[in-house]
Structure 1
Amino acid sequence: MENQGQKKKDTNKIYFLIAVIVALLGTNVYLFFQKNKSDQRVVTVNDDKTALQTELEKLETELEQANSSTGQLSEELKVKDEELKAKIAQLRVALGKGQLTAGELAKAKEDVKQLRYFVNKYTGDIDQLQKQNAMLTGERDSLKTTVTSVKQLADNLSKKNDSLFVKVKAGAAIKTSSLQIGAFRSRTSGKEIGVTKASTAQKIKVNFTINTNPIAEKGTHDIYMRILDPAGNLITGEGGTFVANDQELQYTYKTALEFNGEAKNFTIDWNNRSPFQVGNYTVILYADGYTMGRGTFALK
């Protein structure tokens, strides 16, 4: 009876030990699975942090590229650029923490998502600004081309007008077909007779007819006469100057006549203060800035 009681006690101890062992095994199994879950959670958190940090670096690079491709940002875009850079810096600080709670991680993900939206919109605005600048540049270049063309046209018209003015001015100048020139001397009676010898010549008469010119100015016209002696030297006479054919010239004699546009005969008398020389003389008349006519005469 005593042996049976002892056996019963030993059996109970064995059961107890088995129960303890089973409990320990169960605890170990539970802790093992919990540890795996914890390791998996840490790995997931670390992976998420790395992905978010990579995304931030990508966003920051896109911002830099967008800014570098634009010469000058508007005030609105400058403000948005500063806001985005500040937000990136803020998220870097948050992700740089040693530990992140699930709530902090979820908020960081949402912030990065919103940041991506704003960066896309920001770069889109810059792209639109570049297109507008390109369009404005094209319009400016086109306007420059137009201005250049208009200026060139204006210059051409001005040159044509100048040329036309010169032609009209030249056309309005009075002209003569030819000059009839003769040498004369005066008798004691006052009568003038024609001579051919230089020793007896005292004066010359220049007869000419001004051609009909309806566009010539009606009224008084100054006439300048240049006389070249047989050696080709100008007989200075009065010694004044005038401009004709874009040159400043010295004249021998100056007079004036009335012209109304119709052909008319005129005579100019010129007395030589010095004796005439033997040889051929040239007489040239000028009016209205142009050569009017020329002729020659000879004295023996």
Structure 2
Amino acid sequence: MKKHYKNGLVKTLFAVLFVFGLGATFYIFSKESDLNFDLSKDITDKKQNTVILSEIELAQKDILDSLNTLKLAYDVALLEKTSLSQQLEIEKKNVENLMEIIKVSKNPSSQQIGLYRIQLSDLKNSLNSNVLEVKKLKSQNKNLLTEIESQNVVMYQQKAENDTLVSKQKKLESTLKDASKLAMNNFKVVALREKKSGKELETDKAKNAQKLRISFTINGNSIAKTGKRVFYIQVLDQKNKVLGEDKLIEFGNDKALVYSFIVAVDFQGKPANVYGVLNSEEGNFPKGTYFVNFFDKQEIFGSASITLD
């Protein structure tokens, strides 16, 4: 009886241990399965996060590359030096600012990347609009340059014609001026002695020479200015001293003349003989050679000389 009881107790205890063992085994496998599931899920999440992060980095790089392309496009547009240059500089600065913002941005979110893409799109549209305007201005400038070149050709031709006319005018004026000048010749100087009767005779003797008669002829000129003409006579002795009135006249152009006397004539375009007389202050002229210069204002137009023995 006791033996039967012991066998039953053992069987019961064994059954309890068996059930507990199965439960423990199930629990352990269950925990292991949960742990494996959690680890698998964590790895999957990490892989998904890595993929997302990689896509963001690629998007960030792609946006930076596009912005750099925009910057280069603005550099090219600025080379045209149009009236939009200042606006283009501002747009280029906007591109550079966005590039700096993206470069310093660490692990940007998808929302930030989306915002960058919108800004990139706006900058592209602005560039396209500016490029079209630059092309339009460039075309206008080209047409304007063509028009200016055409006008320059016309102006050059007109200037050449004007220069020719001016040259002809100056040549004509010079010709008229030269033609209107009076031509003088027959420059003479003779010594005279006066007889008691008043008659004057030529002499070459110094002791007899009481006066010097100086004369010249004006040729006829129909286009020369008519009216009173004044000429200045300068007589120099052997010591280069100016005889006669010995007066100084200035002509207002830093030129002056010391003359012996003045002769005047009423010129009317026809030939005219002009003369003047220089009297000796001492009754006669000393021996030697005397030089006579004829002036029309400050310009000398003739000369003569006489030697008295």
1:286 aligned to which of 286, 290, 295: 295
Per-residue CA deviation, residues 189-220 of structure 1 (Å, 9 max, x unaligned), is 32322222111211122233211222321111
Instruction: Please list every run of 5 or more consecutive structure 2 residues that lacks an aligned counterpart in the other structure.
Output: 1-14
**SS of residue matched to 2:110:** coil
> In 2, distance between residues paired with 1:153 and 1:243?
38
Distance verdict in 2 for CA 1:243–1:164, change over 3 Å:
farther
Deviation at 1:258, TM superposition (A): 1.1
1:81 aligned to which of 62, 66, 91: 91
Query: Match of 1:183?
Result: 191
Query: Match of 1:213?
Result: 221
1:173 aligns with 2:213: no
Deviation at 1:225, TM superposition (A): 0.4
Per-residue CA deviation, residues 136-194 of structure 1 (Å, 9 max, x unaligned), is 999999999x9999999999998997787666545433232222322112233323222
> In 2, distance between residues paired with 1:93 and 1:83?
15
Distance verdict in 2 for CA 1:76–1:236, change over 3 Å:
same
2:206 aligned to which of 198, 204, 213: 198
Distance verdict in 2 for CA 1:122–1:245, change over 3 Å:
closer
Q: Choose between structure 1 and 2 for higher RCO, CA contacts under 8 A separated by at least 6 residues.
A: 1
Aligned length: 292
Cα RMSD for the two superposed structures: 5.6
Query: Match of 2:114?
Result: 106
> In 1, distance between residues paired with 2:37 and 2:71?
51
**Matches of residues 126-141 of structure 1 in structure 2 within 5 Å?**
none
Query: Match of 2:306?
Result: 297
Deviation at 1:114, TM superposition (A): 2.9
TM-score, structure 1 as length reference: 0.66
Query: Match of 2:268?
Result: 260
TM-score, structure 2 as length reference: 0.65
Deviation at 1:251, TM superposition (A): 0.6
Distance verdict in 2 for CA 1:82–1:54, change over 3 Å:
closer
**SS of residue matched to 1:267:** strand
1:42 aligned to which of 33, 36, 52: 52
Distance verdict in 2 for CA 1:283–1:98, change over 3 Å:
closer
Identical aligned residues as a percent: 19
